[in-house]
Amino acid sequence: MFLGPWPFSRLLSWFAISSRLSGQHGLTSSKFLRYLCLLALLPLIWWGQALPYKIGVIGPWTCDPFFSKALPEVAAALAIERISRDMSFDRSYSFEYVILNEDCQTSKALTSFISHQQMASGFVGPANPGYCEAASLLGNSWDKGIFSWACVNHELDNKHSYPTFSRTLPSPIRVLVTVMKYFQWAHAGVISSDEDIWVHTANQVSSALRSHGLPVGVVLTSGQDSRSIQKALQQIRQADRIRIIIMCMHSALIGGETQTHFLELAHDLKMTDGTYVFVPYDVLLYSLPYKHSPYQVLRNNQKLREAYDAVLTITVESHEKTFYEAFTEAAAGGEIPEKLDSHQVSPLFGTIYNSIYFIAQAMSNALKENGQASAASLTRHSRNMQFYGFNQLIRTDSNGNGISEYVILDTNGKEWELRGTYTVDMETELLRFRGTPIHFPGGRPTSADAKCWFAQGKICQGGIDPALAMMVCFALLLALLSINGFAYFIRRRINKIQLIKGPNRILLTLEDVTFINPHFGSKRGSRASVSFQIISEVQSGRSPRLSFSSGSLTPATYENSNIAIYQGDWVWLKKFPPGDFGDIKSIKSSASDVFEMMKDLRHENVNPLLGFFYDSGMFAIVSEFCSRRSLEDILTQDDVKLDWMFKSSLLLDLIKGMKYLHHREFIHGRLKSRNCVVDGRFVLKVTDYGFNNILEMLRLSEEEPSEEELLWTAPELLRAPGGIRLGSFAGDVYSFAIIMQEVMVRGAPFCMMDLSAKEVIDRLKMPPPVYRPVVSPEFAPPECLQLMKQCWAEAAEQRPTFDEIFNQFKTFNKGKKTNIIDSMLRMLEQYSSNLEDLIRERTEELEIEKQKTEKLLTQMLPPSVAESLKKGCTVEPEGFDLVTLYFSDIVGFTTISAMSEPIEVVDLLNDLYTLFDAIIGSHDVYKVETIGDAYMVASGLPKRNGSRHAAEIANMSLDILSSVGTFKMRHMPEVPVRIRIGLHTGPVVAGVVGLTMPRYCLFGDTVNTASRMESTGLPYRIHVSLSTVTILRTLSEGYEVELRGRTELKGKGTEETFWLVGKKGFTKPLPVPPPVGKDGQVGHGLQPAEIAAFQRRKAERQLVRNKP
């Protein structure tokens, strides 16, 4: 854990100040300052108890002198120190760092990285792109974040494959491509020095550019010797149409000799005349200073200065101050050693600093949102960030990609300072002109390439004739379309044959089915409202045909019966309205795809479609017959007992069936309780799906549905022309909510509203107000009632999907299976006797405990907040424009505590606060909290009460002060309990803080001012601010106030305050306060005579006990 020197040195100065002040102002000031010091220590104590998060800073710090100039240890220490002082960060974790050396050889670097597994919680690095992918995979396996500023590998942009990898800077390739696109330089060459790290960088840069569709002509490696460099330059000249040369090596401006020799020899070969643009790669990784920053290397080397005219330096934009200024400022502040010269430090120092701050910011975001700090969570919460780094503004977008700004720097070949010419805006991926044009050698820009290189979907000429390529593509497309067309024709032909022939035929005729006519019950229009002896046989698994005698069935035809026998099983026929269906060929040619799609729907909670009956001018859907009748029939049968387990099982079956249909992009459009059938195992199945689709496809007209039939229809469909017939996904969710109401109350839709169906439909069509059924909380759990209300929301887009409904419903049952038959068998095995009594007993015990819990919760939190938390809802912070706060404490409590046993102190506070709690019950106030001897009350929240809050607090204060005048401590009855009270009025923000033991807290300057009013008050007096007095005078209720005068309030200055001494009509006696300024109190608040009396009485009691 890292605790820098600043907090402790600052605390020492605080203690020194407090000791000096104690000598000047007495014990009261000393006590007050000691309290302040203790309060200042609390954040550090908490910080010290936080969980450590160690950041490993990886790089070739020992084998590469240029990287060592970045001073990684100093940068990391500075970042950790500033993070520890930044109070905006979450304090659940404390940050440490460890410097991890990376070998300059890639193979050895990977080996050393593996050995670092246990040394850090997350890594800044690696610096070598050669093993970035391997390191990221290892980090994912270790659940440790990889935060790199150097990994250019484009494969790492795949968040699914590398969930623990994040870039702390925008991808250098994105920056390069943005600049190349603006100037239309597509053909690139990449050259690197012979160090392993730069060789791998060059390979990854070329690979990334090619992934963007850009041609990379050469990828070369060169040593520092002139022969090697000249050979590389000749290869570049021989390559075709290269416009931009990317130099992957240390920049000449920070002492890179390879780049210096490379540019000098390029100048000798006349390659810096504007034919090529040279771009240093390494400066993309840090913020190179350029404002008022002359470079001596350009001043002292004329050839390099002239060659640099052909160089465009693209670097991270600095804000407010350059790197050198920021470094010098940190050194002057004592944060880093002053002996370090900023011009000898690599600007990579700032990148390392920013990367550590980046991790801390992501950690804070993750902890604030969900309290998790896994590597993947840190990566996810590195999105939409913005913070000021060492000397740059670091930003990321919603995908976690860096969008910090870059700047294009240029020289004119004569000066040795760099000038900003364009700003590279990575958020829009555009360039903004800064007013200073780029000075190109020869006076004109490097030749541009064709625009098509940067246009998606276009083919640029690059060895392939575009006309030939287009002809080949066209021929392939034509062949593909021909094959698809032929396959489609064959498939259509096969489908037509399968419609009426073969074992899987869809269209059935009178030859395939036999109609029967059982005795119909009293239920009108219900598909399963038939009662006949066959039901028991169906339940037992025997063939239903065996239960019928020849006289039990009346003559049946397709005209008077909806039940038939198909392949030995009973089926139900849903008939379509009469119409001109044409011949069977016309139907199968226009509807075969729809028929086949409907028949392919298979789910345990979807009644399977067996086919379509078409004969003698009648068209019907053929589906399985369910013996338990429809859900509507079960709900209306009083002899069927349904507890909540049965009801939730039926609803869950309905949810699963509708979820399946919606996953198959199938809108029901006619969902009702009578379209939900129940089989012999009490499994609910959705039926009549696809009815509207067939009506629309066959262009059949249907009678206008009655108002009773429309009670399940969503309001937006009732209002839309043709909406009833088309339906919608959101409309199905609304229909499900109405079915939930039916199941909960076991009644028809809107049965409790005492209105006719027509009146209900009229109100649904024309809100406001929004008209919905009213279901009492006794019929279902509150979670289900809340879900039902969400499902029938007036705005269709606010209704949940069936996936969301299913997830919520599963949580209601705590993941338990709700299959009715299985549950019944399990209960019969476990409870063979006294089942109902046992359940009732346990339910009553649970209800009692629930009531106790709810009562305790409402005592700890406001009822509205407690109810929201129980429902799992988020309690948003709420602002209150004007409330009055009350603070009080016991004068001399420290002395009383010192002279008392701990149990006696507890008894004192319990007796006193019980008295206070009884008093506030008769006032419109809310008790916020008690801390030690401090008692805090507010009025005007959580319920607003206009301007009454000041009067309520004032009345309560007078009552409390009156009651304290007669209060006696059990163990010190001769010592009076004096309190001081402070009142203040102003705005506050209230919210729930914490997940474990949540508290309803108040925030704002009003709280601080009210506390100051109390702490600067006097015994037996009510200290009131001007804002509270102003409201009391406005109320004109006879409050008596006295001007105290101007009072010094810490942090507020001097303000005019008052004493509240009474109220007209208030007859209760008030204790007489000591004279102002002559109360005789010395530090602890008790008079010497009182202390002496108590000590004398205590000694007498001790003598009595000691007598034999």
pLDDT digits (tens, 9 = 90+) for 480-531: 998 988 887 787 667 666 656 666 677 788 888 888 876 544 333 344 344 3
> Do 856 and 945 share a structural domain?
no
Least confident span in 305-314, 574-583, 678-687, 746-755: 574-583
| DSSP per residue, 171-237 | -HHHHHHHHHHHHT---EEEEEESSHHHHHHHHHHHHHHHHTT--EEEEEEE-SSHHHHHHHHHHHH
> Do 486 and 353 share a structural domain?
no
Residues 355-365: what's their mean pLDDT?
93
DSSP letter assigned to residue 321:
S
| Residue 618 maps to a domain | no
Alpha-carbon gap, residue 701 to 837, rounded angstroms: 57
Confidence of residue 639 (pLDDT cuts 50, 70, 90): confident
- Cβ–Cβ under 8 Å, residues 338 and 348: no
- Bridge partners, residue 833, by sequence: none
Confidence of residue 773 (pLDDT cuts 50, 70, 90): very high
The string of pLDDT tens digits covering residues 405-426 is 999 999 887 788 899 999 999 9
What's the sign of the alpha-carbon dihedral 703, 706, 709, 715? positive
Q: Which two tokens stand for residue 537?
A: 């046989």
Least confident span in 715-724, 861-870, 889-898, 1006-1015: 861-870
- Cβ–Cβ under 8 Å, residues 1029 and 984: no
- Cβ–Cβ under 8 Å, residues 260 and 66: no
How high is the pLDDT of residue 467? 59
Alpha-carbon gap, residue 956 to 922, rounded angstroms: 8
Q: Which two tokens stand for residue 326?
A: 């920021």
Of 49, 71, 86, which one is at a domain's C-terminal end?
A: 49
Q: Which two tokens stand for residue 703?
A: 């009678």
Least confident span in 40-44, 778-782, 982-986: 40-44
How high is the pLDDT of residue 586? 53
How many domains is the chain built from?
A: 5
pTM passes above 0.75 = no
Does residue 463 carry a pLDDT above 70?
A: no
| Residue 990 maps to a domain | yes
Average pLDDT, the chain: 83
How high is the pLDDT of residue 543? 34
> Do 1049 and 902 share a structural domain?
yes
CATH code for position 306: 3.40.50.2300
Residue 1066 exposed, middle or buried by CB count within 10 Å (0-12, 13-18, 19+): middle
| Residue 106 maps to a domain | no
- Cβ–Cβ under 8 Å, residues 924 and 952: yes
Alpha-carbon gap, residue 807 to 814, rounded angstroms: 11
How high is the pLDDT of residue 46? 42
Does residue 15 carry a pLDDT above 90?
A: no
Least confident span in 25-29, 275-279, 282-286, 464-468: 25-29
> Do 364 and 282 share a structural domain?
yes
CATH code for position 980: 3.30.70.1230
Confidence of residue 827 (pLDDT cuts 50, 70, 90): low
> Do 171 and 266 share a structural domain?
yes
| Residue 600 maps to a domain | no
Alpha-carbon gap, residue 468 to 766, rounded angstroms: 64
The string of pLDDT tens digits covering residues 188-209 is 999 999 999 999 999 999 999 9
In 308-421, which residue ranges form alpha helices assigned H by DSSP? 323-332, 348-369, 375-380
| DSSP per residue, 18-62 | HHHHHHHHHHHHHHHHHHHHHHHHHHHHHHHHSEEEEEEEEE-TT
> Do 325 and 181 share a structural domain?
yes
Of 49, 64, 88, which one is at a domain's C-terminal end?
A: 49
Alpha-carbon gap, residue 719 to 761, rounded angstroms: 10
Nearest partner of 966 among 1072, 1088, 1093, 1089, judged by Cα: 1072
Residues 796-824: what's their mean pLDDT?
78
Residues counted in the chain: 1108
| Residue 583 maps to a domain | no
Residues 660-686: what's their mean pLDDT?
90
Confidence of residue 873 (pLDDT cuts 50, 70, 90): confident
The radius of gyration of the chain from alpha carbons, rounded to an integer in Å, stands at 41
> Do 490 and 368 share a structural domain?
no
> Do 422 and 494 share a structural domain?
no
Least confident span in 289-293, 466-470, 505-509, 786-790: 466-470
DSSP letter assigned to residue 712:
G
Residues 289-318: what's their mean pLDDT?
90
| Residue 671 maps to a domain | no
- Phi, psi (rounded to 5 degrees) for 450: -65, 145
- Bridge partners, residue 1001, by sequence: 991
Which residue reads 């029938």 in tokens?
A: 792
Of 841, 860, 879, which one is at a domain's C-terminal end?
A: 860
- Domain of residue 852: give its range: 831-860
| Residue 520 maps to a domain | no
Confidence of residue 542 (pLDDT cuts 50, 70, 90): very low
Residues 234-252: what's their mean pLDDT?
92
Confidence of residue 690 (pLDDT cuts 50, 70, 90): confident
Does residue 828 carry a pLDDT above 50?
A: yes
| DSSP per residue, 790-836 | HHT-SSGGGSPPHHHHHHHHHHHTTT----HHHHHHHHHHH-SSSHH
> Do 302 and 165 share a structural domain?
yes
The residue with greater pLDDT, 583 or 167, is 167
Residues 438-444: what's their mean pLDDT?
87
Confidence of residue 24 (pLDDT cuts 50, 70, 90): very low
How high is the pLDDT of residue 132? 93
Nearest partner of 965 among 1068, 853, 868, judged by Cα: 1068
> Do 1048 and 1010 share a structural domain?
yes
| Residue 691 maps to a domain | no
- Bridge partners, residue 101, by sequence: 59
CA 983 to chain centroid, in Å, comes to: 39
Residues 320-332: what's their mean pLDDT?
89
Least confident span in 395-409, 436-450, 575-589, 623-637: 575-589
Residues 376-393: what's their mean pLDDT?
91
Does residue 547 carry a pLDDT above 70?
A: no
Does residue 246 carry a pLDDT above 90?
A: yes
- Cβ–Cβ under 8 Å, residues 718 and 762: no
> Do 411 and 309 share a structural domain?
yes
Alpha-carbon gap, residue 830 to 64, rounded angstroms: 74
Integer angstrom CA distances of residue 829 from 822, 823, 837, 880: 11, 10, 16, 58
> Do 346 and 240 share a structural domain?
yes
Most confident of 81-90, 184-193, 488-497, 594-603: 184-193
Q: Which helix (H) or strand (E) holds 527?
A: none
Residues 597-611: what's their mean pLDDT?
86
Does residue 699 carry a pLDDT above 90?
A: no
How high is the pLDDT of residue 1078? 47
Q: Which two tokens stand for residue 405?
A: 């700004």
- Bridge partners, residue 445, by sequence: none
- Cβ–Cβ under 8 Å, residues 414 and 439: no
Does residue 577 carry a pLDDT above 50?
A: yes
